[in-house]
């Protein structure tokens, strides 16, 4: 199985297969502080039709100018409320979007970077980052589900995706957060990875739950203890990229 998964990795884990993906916006910037902010925003709105996601994110980052990091450092709370008044995406209204951005501003002005903030919330004794995701949720304490509630049973798909971008390093993932460990990452569990995990025999459940994502991640971890989400991008391309499909994976397994 590892050999076959690595064949797919070598074939599809390439920048040319990124589009269409919210991650494209992260790659527009070169500075770490900009990339980590753009990554959090892009991943948090990664729900629904990908082209609608890209359209919405374009409208957001136009407002933030050349440097989202500088935007948050130099804007007041009132500035952010005024700039994003009337914005909405799907079921997220301007009040919820503004609340999310005000939290980002608070973190940036308090900690200097998102990585420093994340490290301050980390429970280093855990063997995965789910407890850290819970702490992030509690710290933001949002009225919306842009970051799922800490008290729920969410698999934290969007945070898991964001952490993959920030922590892993290869031709696609950026590896900006060197203080965090790739072996503690969890699979970003969406409908595509659920289908793929069933094909691989890693789960029979369709539950988008913490228990199921731990079960699936542990199966990947048994194959690659130091980098359990290595194959996430290449596998998920088979369900997301318009020119690819699951047949190639089914033919292998």
What is the three-class DSSP state of 169? Answer: strand
Asked if residue 202 lies in contact with residue 216, where contact means CB atoms within 8 angstroms, the answer is yes
Q: pTM to 2 decimals? A: 0.96
Task: Name the H helices within 112-156.
Answer: 114-121, 130-140
Asked if residue 195 lies in contact with residue 239, where contact means CB atoms within 8 angstroms, the answer is yes
Which pLDDT tens digits describe the chain residue by residue (253 residues)? Answer: 999 999 999 999 999 999 999 999 999 999 999 999 999 999 999 999 999 999 999 999 999 999 999 999 999 999 999 999 999 999 999 999 999 999 999 999 999 999 999 999 998 889 999 999 999 999 999 999 999 999 989 999 999 999 999 999 999 999 999 999 999 999 999 988 999 999 999 999 999 999 999 999 999 999 999 999 999 999 988 877 777 776 776 677 6
Q: State how far the alpha carbon of 14 is from the alpha carbons of 77, 132, 231, in Å.
A: 39, 29, 12
| Count of domains forming the chain | 1
Give CA–CA dist 114/104, Å, rounded. 8
Asked if residue 86 lies in contact with residue 94, where contact means CB atoms within 8 angstroms, the answer is yes
Asked if residue 182 lies in contact with residue 229, where contact means CB atoms within 8 angstroms, the answer is yes
Query: Which residues constitute the domain of residue 146?
Result: 2-252
What is the number of H-type helices and E-type strands within the chain? 14, 0
């Amino acid at each position: 199985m590892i050999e076959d998964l690595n064949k797919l990795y070598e074939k599809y884990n390439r920048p040319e297969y990124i589009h269409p993906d919210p991650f494209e916006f992260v790659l527009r910037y070169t500075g770490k502080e900009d990339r980590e902010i753009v990554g959090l925003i892009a991943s948090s709105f990664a729900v629904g039709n990908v082209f609608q996601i890209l359209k919405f994110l374009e409208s957001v980052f136009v407002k933030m100018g050349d440097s989202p990091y500088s935007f948050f450092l130099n804007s007041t709370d009132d500035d952010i409320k005024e700039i994003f008044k009337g914005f909405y995406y799907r079921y997220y209204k301007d009040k919820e979007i503004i609340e999310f951005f005000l939290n980002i501003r608070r973190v940036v002005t308090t900690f200097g970077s998102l990585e420093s903030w994340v490290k301050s919330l980390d429970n280093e004794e855990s063997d995965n980052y789910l407890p850290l995701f819970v702490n992030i949720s509690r710290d933001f304490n949002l009225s919306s589900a842009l970051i799922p509630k800490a008290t729920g049973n969410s698999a934290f798909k969007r945070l898991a995706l964001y952490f993959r971008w920030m922590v892993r390093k290869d031709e696609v993932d950026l590896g900006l957060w060197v203080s965090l460990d790739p072996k503690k990452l969890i699979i970003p569990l969406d409908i595509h990875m659920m289908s793929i995990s069933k094909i691989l025999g890693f789960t029979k459940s369709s539950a988008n739950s913490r228990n199921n994502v731990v079960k699936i991640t542990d199966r990947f971890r048994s194959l690659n203890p130091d980098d359990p989400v290595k194959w996430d991008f290449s596998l998920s391309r088979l369900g997301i990229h318009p020119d690819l499909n699951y047949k190639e994976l089914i033919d292998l397994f």
